[in-house]
Amino acid sequence: MNVFTASLKQKNKDVNLFRRLRTSRLLEIVQEASIAHTEELHMGRSMTLDKGLLWVVVQQRFEITAMPEYDEQITVETWPGRTRHVLFPRFYRILNGKGDTIISGSALWMLVEEDSRRMVFPSKHGIEINEVITGNETALPETIRMPQTEETKLFSVPFSVCDLNGHMNNTRYLDLCEDLAGDDLLKQTPVLIETEYLSEVRLHDEIRISWKQDEHSLCVSGEKEKICFRIRMNYGD
């Protein structure tokens, strides 16, 4: 069974002031595992980036029972689902040192041309990733329904949040969201993270951020001429 596995120890850079794994770092960890797995499957850089194709995340969904803490050893697992036309589903698990699943999730990926930013049909480029079934698959992400937002602000995309794909890295959206949240909310542990990326945001783009938070949730969206992203984060003690 082709499941990618990696063992990681949480370091200072990985955690927030409550010594829990940063939500943005969670996304980095699962995406680094995804990229490493595509290399193992011979569908990595030589087949994509070096040929002007970019892997991009479209949607994500993570259910969390506990966030890893500083100095904690965790195991990350990822495996591919069945390709859906131009979408590549991928599943994830994070286990603690006792082997218990503390985070499970899924994501939808796709390939775009670096120059045109248009999606590509993987079969035309020899990209094929076979489905793996483990029995630990979770629900795939769905469209996020946003509530009526209460707050807005303008945000100009700085150099520090942009990645090698030439746009604001999707993990940085989580930092943006948490910077909007109140302290009482952030003291709680996130139990569900849902993301949806509809159009890229590039260096110096100015986007309007809208958000609403209540006792146990934070919903954030951003738009230029149209919606760029939607994120929902649910929290619980």
Residue 237 has a pLDDT of: 62
Mean pLDDT of 46-51: 89
What is the token pair recorded at 13? 């850079």
pLDDT tens track for 209-236: 999 999 999 999 999 989 999 999 999 8
pLDDT tens track for 99-143: 999 999 999 999 999 999 999 888 888 888 989 999 999 999 999
| 74 and 17 in a common domain | yes
CB atoms within 10 A of CB 65: 13
Say how many domains are in the chain.
2
- CATH number for the domain spanning 92: value is 3.10.129.10
Would 46 be classed as within a structural domain? yes
Strand order in the sheet with 217-223: 4-9, 73-80, 88-95, 101-113, 53-64, 189-197, 227-236, 217-223, 206-214, 151-156
Residue 149 has a pLDDT of: 84
Domain boundary among 91, 125, 159: 125
What is the token pair recorded at 228? 């760029």
Percent of the chain exceeding pLDDT 90 equals: 83
What is the pLDDT confidence band of residue 3, given thresholds at 50, 70 and 90? very high
pLDDT tens track for 153-212: 999 999 999 998 889 999 999 999 999 999 999 999 999 999 999 999 999 999 999 999
Angle at 159 between CA 17 and CA 223, to 5 degrees: 85
- What's the pTM value of the predicted model, to 2 decimals? 0.94
Q: Is the model's pLDDT at 1 over the cut of 90?
A: no
Would 210 be classed as within a structural domain? yes
Which residues span the domain enclosing 88?
A: 4-125
What CA–CA distance (Å, rounded) separates 39 from 28? 17
Domain boundary among 110, 125, 140: 125
- Could you tell me which residues are beta bridge partners of residue 56? 110
